[in-house]
Amino acid sequence: MAEKNITRKGSTPILVCVTPDEKQKIEALARQTGLSTSAYLRELGLGYVPKSIVDYQHMLELSKLGGDLGRLGGLLKLWLTDDVRTAQFGKETLLAALARIDDTQKEMVKVMSKVIRPHAERYK
């Protein structure tokens, strides 16, 4: 006779008493890792340290890149509106600014792919 696959559903729960504040904190921490509250507590209880799905160093890098794009966009807007402050800049400067914007956008995509860790990476 084949063995039945054992699942957690219907298994014996472990009851843990917490205050409403503690429950909110645990649920918030579970959300940060992308896990359900049960999965989060199970991983902690089994000695695993769940990783946050947001990497704050990369978020800081993204915000800096966003600032760069904003400044470049502002310069581009000035140039396109024939602002007197940009009269000395020619087509080459505009093309260089557009290339820089494109490069910065590509860098942002690279960083964003590192910000949200792939689901499978949590279990390495």
48 against 85, higher pLDDT: 48
Beta strands of the chain (E only): which ranges? none
39 against 117, higher pLDDT: 39
Domain boundaries, the chain: 16-51, 56-118
Q: Does position 3 have pLDDT exceeding 70, yes or no? A: no
**Predicted local distance difference test score (pLDDT) of residue 54:** 67
Distances (CA, A) of 79 to 30, 65, 71, 89, 105: 48, 21, 13, 8, 20
**Predicted local distance difference test score (pLDDT) of residue 21:** 96
Q: Give the pLDDT mean for 87-105.
A: 81
Q: Give the pLDDT mean for 95-102.
A: 82
